[in-house]
Each structure stands twice: as structure tokens, then as C-alpha cells.
Amino acid sequence: MPAAVVLAVAIAALALAYRYYSAYLAKRVYALDPDFVTPAHTYNDGVDYVPTNKHIVFSHHFISVAGAAPIVGPATAVFWGWGPALLWVVLGTIFAAGVHDFGSLAISVRHKARSIGTLTSDIITTRARTLFLLIIFFLLTMVNAVFAVVIAQLFTENPEAVLPVLLTIPFAIGLGQYVYRKRTTALVPAMVAMALVYVSIPVGQAWPITVDPVANAIGLDAETLWILLIFVYTFFTSRLPVWMLLQPRDYINQMQMVVALAVIILGIVIGWNTIVAPAVNDVPPDSPPWFPLLFVTIACGAVSGFHSLVGSGTTAKQLDKETDARYVGYLASSGEGLLALCAILACTAGVAATTADWNSLYSDFDMASDSATGYFVDGVAQFAGNLGVPAGIGTIFASLVVISFAATSLDTAVRLQRYIVQDIAELVRFKPLARNLTAATVVAILIPLSIALLPGDFAFGTLWQLFGTTNQLTAGLALAVIAVWVTKSNRNPIAVLVPWAFLVVMTSWALIVQFGEFVASNDPMQMFFLAPLDMVIFVLALWMVVEAAIAFRRAWRERSRDESVVSPTEQS
């Protein structure tokens, strides 16, 4: 099967969905109001609440959610075959991710830009808010640990990519200062900044940056030192005003995303690569079952609970007009679906020339998951080679893409983790932590840091399994909150209820399957840490579902009662 044909059909489906389905959601389900005064204007503080041009907000949101996960998940899931992975990415993006991301942003804007976890108390119950915040806390802890390890591994394996990544920071700060002070558009200066980043790639080849000497001197390995440095960096960046670094770097990285997608798409068309992987793979008997694990292995790129945290935690505070929620929320989810689609094609049509070669790369599930990022990098380098890009530069370019996206998501996730820590501290009335920005940031960093530093491949190998399930579960719970709100607003919730039901069933099933695998494992970390954590998350989720179902039933009864009330004039 020519990869270009698959690509064209999938892009057409995503484009039609944005044109028609998102318009239906905006008008009939979320009822966007162009005259509504958004929290960005009401609470404008120049730090978190900042009215921002929708294109810049889109860039920030898109890159914040499009981290390493929409690459790693699909690159792993093609182990079961590219057919199921492709269908889940396309259909999940249209009917689950778009509804979820769009809805999370819309509901947050209508509730003072509060996070999806905190506003649960208003829409469902206070008890449900506590349950949801705990689940979100677990999710963000895993996100931060996993992404930090991903970046550290890529820095260690590709020291030539370190310089271009580091240069993005001062370029972004300069861009932010220029746009904020001059009150001008960011397009041209961002293009200049991105060009300078790419110009630095050959410089990075000539002078690769490694921390090996320092790591050896203090008795650490290079990856561990990179993890420590990454979290030190996030401590400062998560506290800066969003316009100073987060927004401008996201804008630069969003342009990198466009370039990366263009390279992949043009490379596929010009090279006319053929998908050599089987549509449905005949996997070894001891492999994990694709049903339901495919739907949690591909989280970001089909639907992701992390997006509801970004949309309601940071993006909602920057939305200039409520109607921008459709462009930012639904279109960004479609863009991430396109990235996941490109990851599938890179790992099925770019990484190997023959089916036999591909089978040797994806011989078992452990090899597929451990090497997923590397396979994507190699596949993108192959597509870039179709355009005449030298192999070495193509590899650095692909590594730069993954690192940049993961770093942006990490910055956003640490900021969100700080919000959650403060929310939980407020719930338990521990005011010193709830009101102390430094203390909350330290807590938000130390917990995932301790997990990231565990020996072996625990964070990236073992923890990734539970991360995907918890991520999808969070999406299901966010959809439950959105469904109750839509029902209370006297609008049809069916578009929200269908993906909610699907995700709750798939993720609950996956948690049970994974619990059995953790218990049967000979690994003490899986038996005595992940298995209990798995059950805690399952119980919290089940409790949350019950709370949401009760709230939905109550909202539906109130709506039916209101609709049954007929005025005397109408009776006559």
C-alpha cells in the first residue's frame, strides 16, 4: 500500500471533520458566544491571564499537547498492525479528541478559566473534584517523569541535537520580548528564530554537547545528570510569565511542527514509500492483547486527558474570544492526529525497506516499545533523505523535533502540576503550600524527579504502560464533566456521551489487564508499586464514574422537568 494514498485519505477525513463536525459542536453542543467576555480579559494580570491572538494561542496549545506521546504511542502500537492503529488515530481524533479538547476549553472559559479538576465541584460534586484532582496528580507525575527521561535519553544518544535545542530558549525569550513590547505580530521574527535554529544544526554536528565529563566527575551517568538539569530548568520556566518563554517558544516550535510535517508529507509523496508492515500483524502468542491495550497505547494522537489539563489549566486563561475555542481546541487535536498519523507512516513505510526488515525491528512488544522513538527518528530521516537532506542532518532534525515537543509539554505539565498541588493543598487547608508558589513548584518537581531517577527503564519502559491508561481515563472523566455541563445547559450531550462511554470501558478494562500483568511479574517494582497504584487509580476512577452518573441523571431529570413545564398561554 502506498503511504501517500493512506495519508491523503486520512488528511481529507480530518479536514472534513473540522469543517463540518466542529462547526456543529460549536453551534449546537457548546454554543459559543462571540460577545462573551473571556477570563483573559476579566482577570488580565500579565502573567497567566493574558488576552492573546488566536494564532499564538493555537501555537502554544498545539505544541504543549503535541509532545513525545503522539510519536511514541503510535510508533509502538503499529506492532499490532498499522490498520487498527490508523483507524483509532483517525476516528479517535474526529469523534473523541476533538470533542474532548474543544469541550474542555469551552467549559473552562465559561467557569473563570478554572481547571477541569477544580470545576468538577460545581458541575458534579465536591467529592468528585477531590477524586479527579488525585487522578490528575498521578497522571501529571507520570507525564513529567516520562518526558524528562525521553529528553535525557535523546540528549545522551544525540549530543549533536543539544545545541539547536538550547538555542531555542534565548531565541524564544528575545521573540517574546519583541512581540510583548512592540505589540506586533510574531510570524516574521519567529521564522527568523526558527531559521537560526536550523542553521545551528551543522554547528551542533561539529561541536556536539555532552555532559559526560561532569557526570563522571561527580559519579553520575550522563542520563541522570541530564534529568537533574532538565528539572532544574523546569523549576524556573514554570514560574515565568507565559508571554516571556512559553508562548514564544511554542510559536517557534509550532512552526517547527509545520516544517516537520511538510518534510514527512513531501518525503512520502516524492519518495512514494510503500507501507511494508502488515495491516494486521501476526504477533507472538505471549504478546499483550491489542484489545483493549491499543486504545491506551495510542493516547495522545487519538484522545488524551492531558489535553483537558492544558486547555483548562493554561490555554483558557489566554483566549481572547470564546469563539476561538473551536480553532484552538478542535483544530489542535486534528493537528496532533496528523502527527500521530505521520508517526505511523514513519514506522511502517520509512524505517524499513522490506517486510522482513520490519519484522526484525518489531519482533516482540518489548523491542517495539523500547525503540519506538528511535524508529520514528530513523523513519523521518528516511523521508528527509527523499528530499535530498543528508542522513546525518536528517537524524538531528528528527531528534530536534521530538526533543522540542517533549520539552514544551514538560514545561506546561510542571506548571499544571504546580496548580494541582496548590488545589489539593487548598482542599486539605494546608495554606503554606497552597499559597506559596516556590513550595508548590518544588513539590511538583521532586515527586516526578524521584520516579525519573529510578534505576533501569522503569520510567520510560514500565511506567509508560500505566501512563497511557491513566491518560485515557482522565479524558473519559473530563468528558463526563463536559456531558453533565452540556445537559445542564439544555443541549444534546450525545456527541460527548459516546466517546465517554467508550473510553471508560476501554481504560477500566485495560487497568484490570495491566493489574494482572503487574501481579504476575517477577519485577518487585511492578508487583509492589505499580499493581497497588493501578488499583488505587481504578477505584478512584470507578468512584468518579458513579458520581458523574448520578450528577448526569439528576441534570437530565431537571432538564426533563423544565421542558415539561408549559405556560398557560402555551396550554391555550
CA dist., res. 255 & res. 264, Å (int): 14
What is each CA distance from 372 to 11, 145, 147, 363, 459, in whole angstroms? Answer: 23, 18, 14, 13, 15
Strand partners, 52: 319
Q: Which residues contact residue 91 at a Cβ distance below 8 angstroms, ignoring those fewer than 6 apart?
A: none
Long-range contacts formed by 560-563: CB under 8 A, 24+ apart? 562/490, 563/490
CB-CB contact of 338 with 11 (8 Å):
yes
Q: Write down the pLDDT at residue 458.
A: 61
**Confidence category of residue 46, pLDDT binned at 50, 70, 90:** confident
pLDDT of residue 349 exceeding 70, the answer is: yes
Percent of the chain with pLDDT over 90: 54
Among 78, 83, 158, 64, which Cα is nearest to 381's? Answer: 158
Average pLDDT, integer, range 368-385: 92
CA dist., res. 56 & res. 43, Å (int): 19
What is each CA distance from 219 to 201, 215, 224, 229, 285, in whole angstroms? Answer: 30, 6, 10, 15, 42
Place of cell 462511554: 501
CATH no. for 3-271+278-283+291-560: 1.20.1740.10
CB-CB contact of 346 with 380 (8 Å):
yes
Among 361, 408, 342, which Cα is nearest to 71's? Answer: 342
What are the start-end ranges of the H helices in 183-322? 187-206, 212-217, 222-237, 246-271, 290-297, 305-313
Q: Write down the pLDDT at residue 415.
A: 86
Q: Write down the pLDDT at residue 572.
A: 37
**Confidence category of residue 207, pLDDT binned at 50, 70, 90:** very high
Ranges 347-361, 507-521, 556-570: which has the least confidence: 556-570
- What is residue 2's DSSP assignment? B
List the domain boundaries for the chain.
Answer: 3-271+278-283+291-560
pLDDT of residue 571 exceeding 80, the answer is: no
Higher pLDDT, 533 or 381: 381
pLDDT of residue 212 exceeding 90, the answer is: yes
Q: Which of 61-70, 112-121, 489-498 has the highest mean pLDDT?
A: 489-498
CA dist., res. 140 & res. 417, Å (int): 6
Q: Write down the pLDDT at residue 565.
A: 57
CA dist., res. 126 & res. 121, Å (int): 4
CA dist., res. 192 & res. 551, Å (int): 51
CA dist., res. 322 & res. 319, Å (int): 7
Average pLDDT, integer, range 289-301: 91
- Residue 358 corresponds to which amino acid? W
**Confidence category of residue 568, pLDDT binned at 50, 70, 90:** very low
- Residue 281 corresponds to which amino acid? N
Average pLDDT, integer, range 516-528: 84
DSSP class per residue in 457-500: TIIIIIHHHHHHHHHHHHHHHHHHHHHHHHHHTTS--HHHHHHH
Backbone φ and ψ of 274, nearest 5°: -105, 140
CA dist., res. 402 & res. 384, Å (int): 15
Find the largest Cα–Cα distance for the chain: 90
pLDDT of residue 409 exceeding 70, the answer is: yes
CB-CB contact of 277 with 358 (8 Å):
yes
**What is the four-CA torsion angle of 216, 219, 221, 226, rounded to 10 degrees?**
-90
Q: Which of 169-178, 188-197, 242-251, 383-392 has the highest mean pLDDT?
A: 383-392
Percent of the chain with pLDDT over 70: 96
pLDDT of residue 566 exceeding 60, the answer is: no
**Confidence category of residue 509, pLDDT binned at 50, 70, 90:** very high
CB burial of 60-85 (b: ≥16 within 10 Å; e: otherwise) equals bbbbbbbbbbbbbbbbbbbbbbbbbb
Q: Cis bond leading into 292, ω under 30°? A: yes
Taking only the tens place, the pLDDT of each residue in 217-234 is 999 999 999 999 999 999
- Name the average pLDDT for the chain: 89
pLDDT of residue 101 exceeding 90, the answer is: yes
Q: Write down the pLDDT at residue 563.
A: 67
Average pLDDT, integer, range 269-282: 96
Q: What pTM, to 2 d.p., does this model score?
A: 0.89
Among 4, 146, 93, 76, which Cα is nearest to 376's? Answer: 76
